[in-house]
Amino acid sequence: MSVFSGSYQADEVEFLLTPTTIEDTPIELKEHLIQTGQKHYSELLTLETLPEPDYITLFHKAMDLNQDQVAVHLLGLAQQIIITRPNGITLVSLARAGTPIGVLLKQLLKIYFNIYVPHYSISILRDVGLDPVALDYILQRHAPESLVFVDGWTGKGIIAEQLADSLAEFKALSGVEIPAELYVLADLCGKAKVAATTEDYLIPSCILNSTISGLVSRSINNTNSDDFHGCVYYEQYSEHDLSRYFIETILGRVAELWPHFTYQDQSIDDSDSARQAKSEQFIADLMNRYIVSHKNYIKPGIGESTRVLLRREARLLILKDLESAATQHLRWLAESKAIPIQVINDMPYQAIALIKEIKP
């Protein structure tokens, strides 16, 4: 086993992933294999191509629109981590949407709070769970109560639930208890332990794939029980990599905003159960309205909708506001792929994507 940092600096993150090669599976074939039960999504990968220049322009617009909001939310999240982990902090970002957030939190804790923390990025896969080899690697070096699991956002709470299930299973096998708590910038469904906001807003890093995440792919399930889960490292895209740009730009905004920052407590309150119920009811209503056979085919929120349009076969994009700047990149993706767009003005999310179901 070996660790690497992708295109990040060596002291910013250790990816507990094994760079590997994998056959390219076209999106349509991938969807067929997943939905017919022949393969799990974690066994397949559609290899990435570079985004179009027009799409990169939309990323920069998103940075202009929301970098200040991200900076403030990161400061709030960092302070809440300090409060909830008084005896030590080990950042564990969930690859890969959590990785840029983890890198930024590590830097903020060092620069503004004089706290030096390790940061690992590990694989978590729906239906599979946390990579147990990676988890063992961390626990050989750090106290279990110090672990802080970080992601970018949570849409309907599947990863938060998977995290809790994985850690409960780990405790049953090892007797070691790890806090099953998820820390995110945006919690849209009330399932995270700590979130900077409940707003479904455009986090710029959600727009891109590997070129915003250290040139690292989505994680791949590794059947070798002695090694970390796998990934593809897109070193050939290094000239187009925006990972460092994202980190340095957000850190620059934090430096500007820090003198005026006022901390607001973001801990869980009673409204979270209400948000959970509202989210679950809306998903159930959508399933009935659009005759969706499983909730996994519904991806709520800007971040999850982006993921669907980038790497799955989408059936429909639903927007709250057709003219919103926050979903301009989603409209571009949908129009470029001839995916229909509908508007539901009163939904609790800015965007929802439906995955196309393969008929038997």
Structure confidence by residue, pLDDT tens digits, 185-206: 999 988 899 999 999 999 999 9
Q: Which element (helix H / strand E) includes 8?
A: none
301-323 confidence digits (pLDDT tens): 999 999 999 989 999 999 999 99
What share of the chain has pLDDT > 90, as a percent? 86
Judge if the upstream peptide bond of residue 275 is cis by omega within 30 degrees of 0: no
pLDDT at residue number 1? 62
At 126, list the tokens: 């729906």
Same domain, 80 and 214: yes
Could you list the residue range(s) of the whole structural domain that residue 175 is in? 14-259
Mean pLDDT of 79-106: 96
**Domain end position, chosen among 225, 259, 293:** 259
HSE, side-chain direction, 13 A CA sphere, residue 222: 26
Q: What is the CATH number of the domain that holds 248?
A: 3.40.50.2300
**Domain end position, chosen among 222, 237, 259:** 259
Q: Nearest Cα to 305, choosing from 195, 190, 204, 206?
A: 206
Calpha distance 130→162 (Å, rounded): 8
Question: Cα 237 to the chain's mean position, in Å?
Answer: 21
Same domain, 212 and 324: no
Task: Please tell me the total count of domains within the chain.
Answer: 2
Same domain, 278 and 229: no
pLDDT at residue number 360? 62
Let me know if residue 149 belongs to a domain: yes
- SS3 (DSSP) at 341: strand
Same domain, 52 and 135: yes
At 166, list the tokens: 């994985």
Let me know if residue 247 belongs to a domain: yes
Let me know if residue 7 belongs to a domain: no
Same domain, 214 and 313: no
Same domain, 163 and 90: yes
Same domain, 314 and 240: no
Same domain, 331 and 241: no
Mean pLDDT of 143-169: 95
Tell me the pLDDT of the chain averaged across its residues. Answer: 93
Let me know if residue 69 belongs to a domain: yes
pLDDT at residue number 266? 52
Same domain, 133 and 22: yes
Beta strand extents in the chain (DSSP E only):
14-15, 18-19, 90-95, 119-125, 129-130, 147-154, 182-187, 194-197, 230-231, 298-300, 314-319, 341-343, 351-355
218-277 confidence digits (pLDDT tens): 999 987 678 999 999 999 999 999 999 999 999 999 999 999 888 665 554 445 778 788
Q: Which of the 8 DSSP states describes residue 258?
A: G
Calpha distance 344→22 (Å, rounded): 39
Task: Specify the range with the lowest mean pLDDT, choosing from 112-126, 179-193, 262-276, 339-353.
Answer: 262-276
Mean pLDDT of 87-98: 96
Let me know if residue 332 belongs to a domain: yes
- At residue 4 the predicted structure's pLDDT band, cuts being 50, 70 and 90, is very high
Calpha distance 142→117 (Å, rounded): 11
Let me know if residue 3 belongs to a domain: no
- As a dihedral over the C-alpha atoms of residue 302, residue 249, residue 121, residue 116, rounded to 10 degrees, the angle is -130
| Strand ranges across the sheet with 314-319 | 298-300, 351-355, 314-319, 341-343
Let me know if residue 264 belongs to a domain: no
Q: What is the CATH number of the domain that holds 347?
A: 3.30.1330.30
pLDDT at 42 over 50: yes
**Domain end position, chosen among 226, 259, 292:** 259
Residue 136 · residue 173 · CB < 8 Å: no
Let me know if residue 160 belongs to a domain: yes
- SS3 (DSSP) at 92: strand
What share of the chain has pLDDT > 70, as a percent? 96
Same domain, 210 and 68: yes
Same domain, 165 and 61: yes
At 282, list the tokens: 């809306």
pLDDT at residue number 235? 96
Same domain, 129 and 175: yes
- At residue 56 the predicted structure's pLDDT band, cuts being 50, 70 and 90, is very high
Provide the sign of the torsion angle of the four alpha carbons 122, 3, 212, 12, taken in this order.
positive
